[in-house]
Structure 1
Amino acid sequence: MITGELKSKVDRLWTTFWNNGISNPLSVIEQISYLLFIKRLDDLELAKESKAQQLGRPMEQPVFSADSQPCRWSQFKHLDDAEAMLRTVRDQAFPFIKTLGGEVADSPYARHMQDAVFLIGSPALLASVVAQIDQIPMEDRDTKGDLYEYMLSKLSTAGTNGQFRTPRHIIKMMVELLAPGPHDIICDPACGTGGFLVAAAEYLRGLKDSQGNQVLNAAGNRAHFNQGMFHGFDFDATMLRIGSMNLMLHGIEQPKIEARDSLSEDHAGVEEAFTVVLANPPFKGSVEKSTIAKDLAKVIKTTKTELLFMALFLRLLKKGGRAAVIVPDGVLFGSSKAHKELRRMLIEEHKLDGVISMPSGVFKPYAGVSTAILAFTKIGVSQDGTDTVWFYDMAADGFSLDDKRQPVEENDIPDLLKRWKARDPKQDTDRTGKAFWVPKAEITANAYDLSINRYKEIEYEEVEYDPPKVILQKLRALEGEIRQDLDELERMLG
């Protein structure tokens, strides 16, 4: 998390765009992303040049040719003429990053940049922004990532079409629930800005073996991490650019962020490709029946996006693959045939590991919708299916549940993660507590209802009242006191 001076610098940068007529948060983030990408290319080139100089060897695979040297951040940032800087960035550097040759051109970010537009038309604005970005320390990966997360938090357009930016601490919690390993292939089929993929990457960077060594340093793990581990789908071109940039700023060299409408027949070819799925798909509305992928329509007959995405997750997972996904509460208890069939499928044909009920304020200020996390495993031939399901009643997430979402002491997440890692059907049998197990047979008997209130037992405290005659005596005494006060008030008034 960025604080203090660095936060103030980002706020000033944001205000500079706002005061110069670029006020759409997505547009601001896009324009900053382009400049950060230009700067990042130059930083990488400077590092390669320094290494080559130290080794006394020619530099391998330079990004900038002799003709493209003016496109480098370290070159144009020193231009005193603001109009010359604008011409250089707009007419040379920006087209350069859209038409890069070699390996960079094959990167998802370069592909998504093909339709990008450079909106900064004021020389003074560009000179100010370049100077401000140059003063922000970007060498540290964590700083770059936190800076980008802070900018993304300013997205005021979130919450449209059922799309809510998932709070970072909820994303981190879900990643820890699944605990991905160095050989996993991770996908978010509604990736937006790439928050789940970034959190998974940060989790893996902190993973150590029994000897205390970083797991990613083992043979082959780093290459898989940079090239084949992270996959995301989205159909919004702006989100594709921002998501790719977000992952690259977090040190993932080649994230596979694809332009794909995950539910449509046009993109129905991906199946059994991933070992981990993390997602918070759009909840709201329905899709046109004729556009739904036929294999999804065969699995579940519905046009509701939240149910179709659940069928999609099962299609995308390899056998034995695991998922942790956010769903609206309606998925847990909806009475339609499609709702019941989806829950039946999760329990009878796969392994539903857990249902975590979250407080309704988690997505404020965007929405007060009640949600839950479903954790499940796609069953392989030799694996057991659902026997019992673990439920957790999360009442607090460390932040107030109003629109302000200020930090508070109440936080169930540490307890949740501790109990999840140590869960045992022989433990957590008390249904009045936060965590408890429910046998499959009981869930089946309740039409596969997965709402926690169906199974949680509420303890009512016995309250003892005085006998009626005693209460009447107290009321008469109180009435007498009131009459005396009224008489005294009347005497005072004369």
Structure 2
Amino acid sequence: MTINSFIKRLQNIMRNDSGVNGDAQRIEQIVWLLFLKVYDAKEEIWEFHDDNYQSIIPEEYRWRNWATDNKDGEAKTGQSLLDFINEQLIPSLKRIEVDEYTPISKAIVKFAFEDTFNFMKDGVLLRQVVNVIDEIDFTDHKERHNFNDIYEQILKDLQNQRSSGEYYTPRAVTDFIVEMIRPKLGEKVADFACGTGGFLTSSLNYLEKQIDSVEDREKYNHSVFGIEKKALPHLLSVTNLLLHDIDNPYIVHGNSLEKNVRDYVEKDKFEVVLMNPPYGGSEKDNIKMNFPLELRSSETADLFMSVIMYRLKKEGRAAIVLPDGFLFGTDNSKMAIKEKLVKEYNLHTIIRLPHSVFAPYTSIHTNILFFDNTHPTEHTWFYRLDMPEGYKNFSKTKPIKIEHFEPLIEWWASREEIVVDDHYKSKKYTAKEIIEGNYNLDLCGFPKEEEIILEPDELIENYQEERMQLNKQIDNILEDIQSVLGEKL
């Protein structure tokens, strides 16, 4: 089954259903059905290896017992299928009881359906959708592997939904970062705002090549950890890991910022942290109280930076995607976070990414900060990754690719200073220079405003996104001012 044919068939069916309002709901509908199909296939494998295996899903609600059409006229369809799903299946899965002793492989069913709904209103069309999904044999390793391309396309479709674009980091970016971090089997990779699981699956693809034994496979199965606040990307991430043969996908449905960072102990820390934290958002005052006074920020990305530092093991490594605002920001909390980063961690490399890497979701300029928990920073290398030759900008049809990182990968080993047109493309700055520069990390930037030529709809979308981000920044600044005034009063 090809990527386009699978998605097109589902689109054509669901387009005729009055209950599905737009592509965002279409994707949500496909995702929870896919999860049940994938989970049923995993259970077949678990049953094969364990004669005593008991499903957490009641027998009548397992995919094989209601979804598969045996062409004997007994398969549910029409109103009976709608009633079954709306009144029995989904409510029953929401009510599944779990506790601290429930294996992750079983508890994920309840977590997956906490915020799940059926949008379709036509039971005949719903039966057709179920039949298309049921055609895929997820017990076949080759077909399951091939389906990853289809799943990747679903994630890209999700990126193009205005309310959901934050969930997807381009695969080229996650693959490049993992290649530079080089995780090893036995280490655990964490993402505290994992979205659809891009960093985790890139890590798994890298780690899979290291498997040589049954013991290695067991290490692989416990090598990633994620937390995701929103329901849809959480379900996408869990399904993504199941497709990558992770039997116990440890993806917590929650907010990483809700725990006091001073309460973290050694078992809460990780050898590798890879993240593209959400930018521009703000958290409530009770969330900010989870951070030391000097680190309390109104910017979500800043708070995540503090969480990362508190949860990185000694000798651990991290790579974080952050907007330009973090590099040159001078508000008190950003300055305190950067001071902690430079004086307590080894901030060894900052990569300046070209514009439009995250197009069409946002035009905000981004950077990758590489650091480790080995010793205080001695020096930091900066490298500017220029737009590849022949490109004016990246877009939905011309996304960034892993080959666009090749000049950077070649530079990574040699670490040489580079000057282009009297501007530094790469340069090493000592920690002393950074501190004396008041922690301004906006170095080796782009020497001139790049020419950006976008399609009208992308241009409008970017302007709207920029306006929203500016409004959030203004709100955050006003909130800080009001907070200071309130303390003085």
- TM-score range (shorter-chain normalised) is 0.7 to 0.9
Count of aligned pairs between the two proteins: 430
* Greater shift in the superposed pair: 278-287 or 94-103: 94-103
Alignment-derived partner of residue 443 in structure 1: 434
CA contact (8 A) 1:279 1:324 kept: yes
CA 1:339/1:96 → structure 2, altered by over 3 Å: closer, same or farther?
closer
SS in 1 for 2:120: coil
Structure 2 residue 173 is the aligned partner of structure 1 residue 170: yes
CA 1:304/1:36 → structure 2, altered by over 3 Å: closer, same or farther?
closer
Alignment-derived partner of residue 417 in structure 1: 409
Counterpart amino acid of residue 289 in structure 1: D
Shift of the alpha carbon at 1:352?
Answer: 0.3
1:377 to 372, 377, 382: 372
Counterpart amino acid of residue 19 in structure 1: N
Alignment-derived partner of residue 287 in structure 1: 283
CA contact (8 A) 1:162 1:282 kept: no
1:14 to 6, 11, 21: 11
Shift of the alpha carbon at 1:457?
Answer: 9.1
Alignment-derived partner of residue 368 in structure 1: 363
2:340 to 339, 345, 350: 345
| Distance of 1:189 and 1:135 partners within structure 2 | 35
SS in 2 for 1:330: helix
| Distance of 2:394 and 2:406 partners within structure 1 | 21
| Distance of 1:40 and 1:307 partners within structure 2 | 36
| Distance of 2:362 and 2:104 partners within structure 1 | 39
CA 1:69/1:219 → structure 2, altered by over 3 Å: closer, same or farther?
closer
CA contact (8 A) 2:172 2:400 kept: no
CA contact (8 A) 2:383 2:444 kept: no
| Distance of 2:155 and 2:183 partners within structure 1 | 25
| Distance of 1:223 and 1:404 partners within structure 2 | 38
CA contact (8 A) 1:233 1:259 kept: yes
CA contact (8 A) 1:353 1:390 kept: yes
Shift of the alpha carbon at 1:164?
Answer: 5.6
| Distance of 1:352 and 1:70 partners within structure 2 | 49
2:156 to 153, 176, 179: 153
Counterpart amino acid of residue 322 in structure 1: R
Alignment-derived partner of residue 70 in structure 2: 78
Counterpart amino acid of residue 35 in structure 1: L
Alignment-derived partner of residue 179 in structure 1: 182
Structure 2 residue 204 is the aligned partner of structure 1 residue 201: yes
| Distance of 1:405 and 1:385 partners within structure 2 | 42
| Distance of 1:216 and 1:419 partners within structure 2 | 29
Structure 2 residue 323 is the aligned partner of structure 1 residue 328: yes
CA 1:40/1:163 → structure 2, altered by over 3 Å: closer, same or farther?
closer
Counterpart amino acid of residue 183 in structure 1: G
| Distance of 2:241 and 2:119 partners within structure 1 | 23
Counterpart amino acid of residue 9 in structure 1: F
Structure 2 residue 386 is the aligned partner of structure 1 residue 390: no
| Distance of 1:358 and 1:130 partners within structure 2 | 42
| Distance of 1:69 and 1:109 partners within structure 2 | 12
Alignment-derived partner of residue 429 in structure 1: 417
SS in 1 for 2:30: helix
Structure 2 residue 246 is the aligned partner of structure 1 residue 252: yes
CA 1:112/1:34 → structure 2, altered by over 3 Å: closer, same or farther?
closer
CA contact (8 A) 2:258 2:287 kept: yes
Radius of gyration: which is bigger? 1
Structure 2 residue 245 is the aligned partner of structure 1 residue 242: no
CA 1:122/1:162 → structure 2, altered by over 3 Å: closer, same or farther?
closer
| Distance of 2:250 and 2:57 partners within structure 1 | 27
Q: How well do the aligned residues superpose, as a CA RMSD in angstroms?
A: 3.4
Structure 2 residue 121 is the aligned partner of structure 1 residue 121: yes
| Distance of 1:342 and 1:218 partners within structure 2 | 42
CA 1:104/1:78 → structure 2, altered by over 3 Å: closer, same or farther?
farther
CA 1:63/1:265 → structure 2, altered by over 3 Å: closer, same or farther?
closer
CA 1:400/1:131 → structure 2, altered by over 3 Å: closer, same or farther?
farther
Q: Deviations over 1:124-145 (max 9, x none)?
A: 1122112222344643332232
| Distance of 2:68 and 2:55 partners within structure 1 | 16
SS in 2 for 1:166: coil
CA contact (8 A) 1:271 1:315 kept: no
CA contact (8 A) 1:326 1:373 kept: yes
Shift of the alpha carbon at 1:436?
Answer: 3.3
| Distance of 2:121 and 2:278 partners within structure 1 | 35
**In percent, how many aligned pairs have the same letter?**
28
CA contact (8 A) 1:389 1:439 kept: yes
Alignment-derived partner of residue 32 in structure 1: 30
SS in 2 for 1:441: helix
Higher RCO (CA < 8 A, seq sep 6+): 2
Shift of the alpha carbon at 1:275?
Answer: 1.1
| Distance of 1:65 and 1:186 partners within structure 2 | 29
SS in 1 for 2:157: coil
1:286-305 → structure 2 map (5 Å cutoff): 286-294=282-290, 296-298=291-293, 300-305=295-300
| Distance of 1:75 and 1:335 partners within structure 2 | 57
| Distance of 2:303 and 2:193 partners within structure 1 | 12
Shift of the alpha carbon at 1:238?
Answer: 2.5
1:307 to 287, 298, 302: 302
| Distance of 1:327 and 1:94 partners within structure 2 | 38
Counterpart amino acid of residue 12 in structure 1: R
| Distance of 1:387 and 1:153 partners within structure 2 | 40
| Distance of 2:158 and 2:57 partners within structure 1 | 37
SS in 2 for 1:155: helix
CA 1:329/1:121 → structure 2, altered by over 3 Å: closer, same or farther?
same
| Distance of 2:56 and 2:167 partners within structure 1 | 39
Counterpart amino acid of residue 127 in structure 2: A
CA contact (8 A) 1:104 1:110 kept: no
SS in 2 for 1:391: strand
Counterpart amino acid of residue 393 in structure 2: L
Q: Deviations over 1:320-378 (max 9, x none)?
A: 11111111101111122332222222222110021000012111111110110101112
* Greater shift in the superposed pair: 329-338 or 297-306: 297-306
TM-score by length of 1: 0.76
